[in-house]
């Protein structure tokens, strides 16, 4: 965010004075670049605060004056060139110098366009910007740093100096930040992250945290609402060798799957520090209940169990006993709850804490739901009803007013079906159907996914186990929860015979542009004439046309047609018996 300012009307320096100033600038160049970072941080923070005040972007909360705390660190380690190592274009460098001159020459040299100067630097690699600065000094006899300080001041100078001197990694980090807006630019985010090593990502992350107040992981998780875009960006942020570790630390599931948050290893240093913090909560007037709660909040069940074990080992008294001795009433109840709640209960509590009077912390809601299994979602919902008086789904619908935020939370509440039906075990299929039918907004897609591809015997076993676990007949549940076309489809998938399933598979194998020949052959090969006739009758009844007529219009390849129609020849009506011509009588 730049503005155009008028130059100072002071008399230009004479050549000797100019040379002296240039020498001083050279001595102070490192200090200038380092100082520009702090000023740039303040400028970027002002821009971010102004935008965040519009209440558009969860995750861009106000974090105070970061610049006052010391500003950003420069990333001096070697960075991957933004241009992929391509040689600097000398013509582009010379044109850039001309553009800087033009930007500095408005109103006879008394008005400099900051936005035009910044446009010269934006998008260029460090090697290109260094070449521009070198060419400028060669042509003008004055360093580009000195020129900018002569023409600009305040925030405008700070921003231009930052754009001129930032490393390629800092540039990439800035581009990630700038790509988040009322409408995100995922392509720009991906481009900024692609091809970075683990070490480079770490340097970008350190700079981002110092400059914008967030680590890259949190920033992208909170502000990228389209799951596929977010997961792709996070996969780039965590190169393959770090995906699993990052997933555990973030409580997230990266592309390809990863351990759940409860599976991440417990950090002994975190446990040791927690015990020290509990000891530090002792005051002359008693125990600081809020400090105890702070130690326990945000930690997984495994971490809290490890803290309790370490505390007892260090003090020869259980943490439960200590809390009961030192706290009472609501303070004791809360501390005991935070110590012993399950991870699912923790997630449910965090959802209520994320709901605000004026603004919801949507990123915290997403994190509480993301990566949960159907069983964990079910446990969260049952706890939520018992504790807060309503189901999770109703609560989110009642309290999330922004449509796309609410829709994304509800999509996380009903976990996406990622396994193909044939890959689901019987227990997984039953649990998936239980979860899909548990909420008022039934997920018919998940029900169908659990039934598709299963033999009649397998589907009967699923229905039997469902009834044993829930005490309710699956057919009756479907009739109660579904209606219309959704009910008809789910009932059909549950009740159809194996031959009917093969006929449906054949129908679905015909595509708009390409058929699945293997599925067609699988449905027809090794069938007896009686089975083929039964499939044909079913096909006519369900799809309004016989198998031969359907495939005649759908299969074009001669070799495939020959194979299919050879199999289906049993459906041809028997040829009428040839009548012998009467022999003429000889007279």
Bigger pLDDT: 26 vs 116: 116
- For residue 259, is pLDDT > 70? no
Residue 557 lies in a domain: yes
Residue 63 lies in a domain: no
Bigger pLDDT: 163 vs 285: 163
- For residue 255, is pLDDT > 50? no
Residue 39 lies in a domain: no
The DSSP string of 329-363 is HHHHHHHHHHHH--HHHHHHHHHHHH--SS---HH
Per-residue CA distances from 57 to 49, 140, 405, 409, 455 (Å)? 11, 45, 11, 16, 48
Per-residue CA distances from 257 to 251, 348, 358 (Å)? 12, 23, 35
Rounded CA-CA distance 165/174 in Å is 13
Whether residue 246 sits in one domain with residue 219? yes
How confident is the prediction for the chain on average, in pLDDT? 77
- Residue 142 has a pLDDT of 92
Element (H, E) at 5: strand 5-6
Lowest mean pLDDT among 47-51, 81-85, 470-474: 47-51
- For residue 242, is pLDDT > 70? no
Whether residue 291 sits in one domain with residue 315? yes
Residue 249 lies in a domain: yes
Residue 521 lies in a domain: yes
Residue 11 lies in a domain: no
pTM of the model: 0.35
413, 429, 444 — which closes off a domain? Answer: 413
Bigger pLDDT: 578 vs 505: 505
Whether residue 356 sits in one domain with residue 282? no
CATH number at residue 237: 1.10.220
340, 368, 396 — which closes off a domain? Answer: 340
**Which of 70, 66, 19 is CA-nearest to residue 43?**
66
Whether residue 336 sits in one domain with residue 294? yes
Whether residue 156 sits in one domain with residue 227? no
Residues 6+ apart with CB under 8 A from 4: 106, 111, 112, 113, 114, 115
Residue 75 lies in a domain: no
Q: What are the tens digits of pLDDT across the range 206-221?
A: 899 888 888 898 888 8
Residues 6+ apart with CB under 8 A from 5: 111, 112, 114, 152, 153, 156
Rounded CA-CA distance 182/495 in Å is 48
Domain count, the chain: 6
Whether residue 311 sits in one domain with residue 298? yes
CATH number at residue 549: 1.10.220.10
- Residue 137 has a pLDDT of 92
Average pLDDT, stretch 532-544?
Answer: 92
- For residue 247, is pLDDT > 50? no
Largest CA distance in the chain: 143
- For residue 354, is pLDDT > 90? no
Whether residue 97 sits in one domain with residue 123? yes
Bigger pLDDT: 549 vs 255: 549
Whether residue 95 sits in one domain with residue 162? yes
Is 287 in a helix, a strand, or coil?
strand
Residue 454 lies in a domain: yes
Whether residue 443 sits in one domain with residue 513? no
Range from 35-49, 243-257, 288-302, 389-403 that averages highest in pLDDT: 288-302
Per-residue CA distances from 138 to 25, 288, 312, 453, 542 (Å)? 16, 66, 72, 73, 82
Q: CB–CB of 167/175 below 8 Å?
A: no
Average pLDDT, stretch 84-91?
Answer: 76
Which domain range does residue 280 map to? 268-340
In DSSP terms, which residues pair with 287 in a beta bridge?
Answer: 282
- Residue 73 has a pLDDT of 42
Whether residue 275 sits in one domain with residue 246? no
Query: Beta-carbon neighbour count of residue 427 at 10 Å?
Result: 11
**Which of 390, 397, 429 is CA-nearest to residue 411?**
397
Q: What are the start-end ranges of the H helices in 141-226?
A: 144-151, 154-165, 168-178, 186-193, 198-212, 216-223
Whether residue 350 sits in one domain with residue 336? no
Average pLDDT, stretch 468-478?
Answer: 91
Is 160 in a helix, a strand, or coil?
helix
- Residue 68 has a pLDDT of 32
Residues 6+ apart with CB under 8 A from 576: none
In DSSP terms, which residues pair with 5 in a beta bridge?
Answer: 112
132, 166, 200 — which closes off a domain? Answer: 166
Q: Supply 326's token pair.
A: 């030192």
Q: How many CA atoms lie within 13 A of 433 on its CB side?
A: 32
- Residue 441 has a pLDDT of 65
Q: CB–CB of 100/117 below 8 Å?
A: yes
- Residue 525 has a pLDDT of 82
Range from 99-113, 394-408, 435-449, 453-467 that averages highest in pLDDT: 453-467
Element (H, E) at 524: helix 517-524
DSSP 153: -
SS3 content of the chain, % helix, strand, coil (to 5): 65, 0, 30
Whether residue 488 sits in one domain with residue 507? no
């Amino acid at each position: 965010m730049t503005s155009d300012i008028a130059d100072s009307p002071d008399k230009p320096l004479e050549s000797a004075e100019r040379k002296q100033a240039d020498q001083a600038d050279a001595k102070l160049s490192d200090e200038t670049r380092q100082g520009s970072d702090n000023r740039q941080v303040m400028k970027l923070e002002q821009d971010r605060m102004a935008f965040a005040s519009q209440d558009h972007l969860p995750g861009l909360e106000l974090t105070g004056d970061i610049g006052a705390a010391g500003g950003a660190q420069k990333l001096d380690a070697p960075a991957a060139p933004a241009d992929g190592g391509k040689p600097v274009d000398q013509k582009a460098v010379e044109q850039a110098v001309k553009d800087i001159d033009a930007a500095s020459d408005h109103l006879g040299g008394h008005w400099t366009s900051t936005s035009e100067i910044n446009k010269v630097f934006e998008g260029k690699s460090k090697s290109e910007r260094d070449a521009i600065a070198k060419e400028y000094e060669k042509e003008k006899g004055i360093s580009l740093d000195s020129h900018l300080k002569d023409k600009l001041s305040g925030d405008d100078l700070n921003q231009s100096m930052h754009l001129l001197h930032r490393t390629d990694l800092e540039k990439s980090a800035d581009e990630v930040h700038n790509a988040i807006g009322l409408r995100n630019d995922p392509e720009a985010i991906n481009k900024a992250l692609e091809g970075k090593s683990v070490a480079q990502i770490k340097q970008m992350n350190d700079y981002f945290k110092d400059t914008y107040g967030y680590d890259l992981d949190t920033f992208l998780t909170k502000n990228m609402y389209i799951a596929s875009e977010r997961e792709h960006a996070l996969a780039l942020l965590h190169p393959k060798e770090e995906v699993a570790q990052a997933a555990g630390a973030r409580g997230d599931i990266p592309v390809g799957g990863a351990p759940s948050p409860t599976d991440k290893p417990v950090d002994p240093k975190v446990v040791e520090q927690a015990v020290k913090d509990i000891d530090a909560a002792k005051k002359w007037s008693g125990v600081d209940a809020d400090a105890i709660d702070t130690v326990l909040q945000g930690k997984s069940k495994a971490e809290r169990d490890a803290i309790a074990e370490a505390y007892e080992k260090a003090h020869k008294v259980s943490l439960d006993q200590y809390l009961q001795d030192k706290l009472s009433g609501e303070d004791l109840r809360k501390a005991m709850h935070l110590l012993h709640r399950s991870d699912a209960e923790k997630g449910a509590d965090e959802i209520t804490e994320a709901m605000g009077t004026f603004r919801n912390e949507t990123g915290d809601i997403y994190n509480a739901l993301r990566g949960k299994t159907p069983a964990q979602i079910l446990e969260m919902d049952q706890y939520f009803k018992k504790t807060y008086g309503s189901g999770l789904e109703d609560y989110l619908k009642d309290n999330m007013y922004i449509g796309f935020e609410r829709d994304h939370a509800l999509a996380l509440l009903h976990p996406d079906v990622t396994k193909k039906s044939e890959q689901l075990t019987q227990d997984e299929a039953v649990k998936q159907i239980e979860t899909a039918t548990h909420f008022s907004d039934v997920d018919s897609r998940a029900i169908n996914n659990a039934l598709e591809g299963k033999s009649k015997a397998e589907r009967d076993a699923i229905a039997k186990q469902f009834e044993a676990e829930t005490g309710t007949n699956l057919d009756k549940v479907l009739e109660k929860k579904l209606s219309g076309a959704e009910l008809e489809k789910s009932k059909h998938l549950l009740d159809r015979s194996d031959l009917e399933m093969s006929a449906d598979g054949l129908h679905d194998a015909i595509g708009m542009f390409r058929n699945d020949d293997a599925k067609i052959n699988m449905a027809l090969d090794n069938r007896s004439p009686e089975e083929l006739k039964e499939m044909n009758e079913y096909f006519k009844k369900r799809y309004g046309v016989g198998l031969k007529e359907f495939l005649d219009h759908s299969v074009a390849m001669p070799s495939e047609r020959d194979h299919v129609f050879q199999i289906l020849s049993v459906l041809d009506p028997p040829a009428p018996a040839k009548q012998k011509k009467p022999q003429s009588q000889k007279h």
